[in-house]
Copies of this chain bind each other. A is one copy, B any other.
C-alpha cells in the first residue's frame, strides 16, 4: 500500500483503526500541545522513554514532520481527539479547525512497528487477525512527572502463546525507539487491570488457553497525562487511529 495514497484516503474522510495497514512502515502517535506546555511534554517523554519515544517534534504551528514530508498533520490521520482542560471535547476526522498557531506536534513511536516482526516470526497478532483495534489499559503505575505533567502508564496488550513469549520479547526488544520489550508479562492484576475484557481504549480480544497476556508501554500514555494534568488544550490522534509515515520500521531496529 502506498502511504501517500493511504493518507489521501484519511484526508478524504475514511475513519478506521490503522493496525495492520502499510506493514513495514512506521505508524506514530500524535500529541500537539501549546508551545507553553511543550517543554513539559518533551521532558515527560525524556523521563518516560518507553511509553513516550519521541520520533519527531514540529516547530510551533507547523503541521508537518520529517517522517512524511508531504503530509499534513491536521488532516492526514483517520481520527483526532480535541481536549480542553483535560477533558475530551471532540472526536473528528479532520483537525484543521482545531489547530492553533502555537501548537507543537509530538510524534511518538507506536508498537505497531514491531508487529510486522511478530507476524514474520509466525506469532499471531490477535487484534490484526480479528480486524479490530488493539486493547489498551490505564495501569496503576505512575510515570515519572515532568513540570506540570504527570499521569499513569498506559499499556497495549497482545495474547502470546506461552512458548512464544520469549520470541515476542526478543523481537520487540530490537525496537527500543518504539516501546521496545514488554513492560509486563502476565498477571494483569499487578498492573491494576481488573478485567482484560474491558479495555480503557480500543477493543477487547480473546485470550485463549495457553496464552499469556503480554503488556507493552503504549503511546496513548501522553493522552492519559493530558487528562490527569488537566492540560488546557491538546489535539491528539484517537487511540489506534495512527499517523502513517513514510519511514520504514527498519530505521528503528537495533
Contacts and interface: CB of A to CB of B under 8 A. Distances in A.
Contacts of A46: 42, 54, 57
A184 interface: no
Nearest to A147: B59
A176 interface: yes
Interface string A35-76: 000110011001100000010110000000000000000000
A188 interface: no
Contact of A38 (B39, B57, B180): B39
Which of A38, A46, A56 gathers the greatest number of chain B CB atoms within 10 Å? A46
Given A43-B57, A46-B54, A46-B57, A176 B254 contact: yes
Interface residues of A, number: 15
B57 A173 contact: no
Interface in A19-41: 38-39
A100 interface: no
B174 A254 contact: yes
Contact of A42 (B42, B173, B176, B180): B42
9 smallest CB-CB distances across A and B, nearest first, come from A254-B254, A39-B39, A42-B42, A46-B54, A176-B254, A43-B57, A46-B57, A176-B176, A173-B254
Interface of A: 38-39, 42-43, 46-47, 54, 56-57, 173-174, 176-177, 180, 254
Given A42-B43, A43-B57, 6 more contacts: A39-B42, A47-B56, A47-B57, A176-B176, A176-B254, A180-B254
